[in-house]
Structure 1
Amino acid sequence: MKKMGLFAISAGLLLLAACSSTKLTSSWKTSDAQLQPDKKIMVMALVPKQEKQLQALMEDNLVTELKKEGLNAASALRTYGPNAFGDNISEKAAIRKLRNSDASQVLTVVLLDKKREKEFVPAGPAYGPFPYYYGGFWPYYSRWYGAMYRPGYYQSNTKYNWESNLYDLDQHKLIYSAQTQSVDPPTAVRQAYLYAKQIVKDMTKQQLIARN
């Protein structure tokens, strides 16, 4: 019985994990790019008005994760306020403002798209490490019987598509870009946390962040 309970808990956790996720869909960097502790990175998030809470969360979490790697990072929202880089500012003025804060690089975070999708999940069995194997004939048989003959169903997911670009102001060029997708994040706080973790993990994998 104890073994069955442990398997049931494990299956439940796997199901929850499947319902919400943040994953990297693509990334790229220039071959010679590598972040340096003495170069300040200004993190700038851009989101629609209805998602404004995500702006500070995205910037703060990325700053935190970059600092854990020994890098000098700052939030544009906390440095300049909410309207410092609006429609009326020119490229020259924007770069001058960044330079005045000693920023050498800019990491932009843009919410490309948010949409709610409905998809049909077909009927039929799905293989998995279920606890029914340990409970005798009937739990096993009845579980698979139900799986064989249950009807399909529709489920709705909310998907957030993000893009992060890292620009080097000294070289005047893009040196890193990454795209991610978050599906049904439980909270904005959790989404921002997982996003920052994913981006910094990929930066390390791409050797943009050097490991000592």
Structure 2
Amino acid sequence: MKTSVYIIVMSSLLMIQCSSTSIISTYKSAQMVDLEKGKIIVTALTKGSDKELRKKLENHMADDLCNLGYNAVCSIELYGLNTLNGQDEKLILSKLQQENVSAVLTIVLLRRDKEKYHAPASMYDISNQYRHSGFYPYYAAVYGKIYEEGYYIDNTSYFWESNLYSLSDQKLLYSVCTESFNPSGISSLAHQYGKLIIKDMLAKNVIRDLNK
């Protein structure tokens, strides 16, 4: 019974440790813009095969901003999956101004790394566990652990950058680089990422809760 409880607890801790999103670096400009006026457009730039991830990232970030009282919209909602790619700079700025956009928040997947490594069979606490169980239970347990092949684990790291630009002068107001390690799925990844960035922007007074 104790062994089962131990395994459940350790498995839960392992899941928590193996899935995380953390900030690597941040930047905040001394110049700030009133983001309460106009729209904040959220646009994610990912590879073509990551369309669903892009939708989730934009939706979660825009929803989190809206929950704070801002008028935030997804670029996909306004312009579809092609967004503004390949268009003339003046045309892009003109379209954004027509939509009364005051700021643009970008989410860019800089790099995705995959790594496979071998995890050997665990030998944790074997001697204590079978100390009073007799020779054969101990021998069988240790034998099984020694000759167990273990298993392979795939680790995936996502490196992101988000920038907040003022549309009127195209100045960088805020920038953050993050790493997401072994996300359990794209919904979880997008949710964790959005919450982390919003929390950091609040802490640095880039945005505030307009509902208070």
TM-score, with length taken from structure 1: 0.79
Q: Distance in 1 between matches of 2:88 and 2:131?
A: 67
Deviations along 1:126-177, one digit per CA (max 9) or x if unpaired, are 9xxxxx8xxxx536999xx99xx89998643111111111100123201011
**Which residue of 128, 138, 148 corresponds with 2:129?**
138
Gaps of 5+ in 1: 127-131
Which residue of 1 is the match for residue 35 of structure 2? 36
Which residue of 2 is the match for residue 20 of structure 1? 19
SS of 2:61's equivalent in the other structure is helix
- Counterpart code for 1:93: L
Which residue of 1 is the match for residue 177 of structure 2? 179
What is the CA-CA distance between 1:123 and the residue it aligns to? 9.8
Deviations along 1:21-68, one digit per CA (max 9) or x if unpaired, are 111111111134265322310011111011111111111010011111
Whether contact under 8 Å (2:161, 2:178) holds in the other structure is yes
- Counterpart code for 2:29: T
Name the CA shift for 1:207/1:121 in 2 (closer, same or farther; >3 Å). farther
- Counterpart code for 1:118: K
Name the CA shift for 1:156/1:97 in 2 (closer, same or farther; >3 Å). same
Whether contact under 8 Å (1:35, 1:209) holds in the other structure is no
Q: Distance in 1 between matches of 2:4 and 2:203?
A: 38
- Counterpart code for 2:164: L
SS of 1:203's equivalent in the other structure is helix
Q: Distance in 2 between matches of 1:194 and 1:16?
A: 15
Which residue of 1 is the match for residue 61 of structure 2? 62
**Which residue of 166, 175, 188 corresponds with 1:190?**
188
Q: Distance in 2 between matches of 1:73 and 1:182?
A: 24
SS of 2:16's equivalent in the other structure is helix
Whether contact under 8 Å (1:20, 1:185) holds in the other structure is yes
Q: Distance in 1 between matches of 2:30 and 2:149?
A: 51
SS of 2:172's equivalent in the other structure is strand
Q: Distance in 1 between matches of 2:149 and 2:185?
A: 31
Q: Percent identity?
A: 35
Equivalent residue runs for 1:50-199 within 5 Å: 50-87=49-86, 89-119=87-117, 137-138=128-129, 155-199=153-197
Runs of 4+ off more than 6 Å: 120-126, 139-142, 149-154
Q: Distance in 2 between matches of 1:10 and 1:140?
A: 23
What is the CA-CA distance between 1:182 and the residue it aligns to? 1.2
- Counterpart code for 1:138: Q
Q: Distance in 2 between matches of 1:109 and 1:182?
A: 13
- Counterpart code for 2:90: K
SS of 1:86's equivalent in the other structure is coil
TM-score, with length taken from structure 2: 0.79
**Which residue of 202, 207, 211 corresponds with 2:200?**
202
Q: Count matched residues.
A: 199
Q: Look at both structures and tell me which one has the larger radius of gyration over its CA atoms.
A: 2
Which residue of 2 is the match for residue 129 of structure 1? none
- Counterpart code for 2:8: I
Whether contact under 8 Å (2:42, 2:106) holds in the other structure is yes
Q: Indicate the RMSD between aligned Cα atoms, in angstroms.
A: 3.1
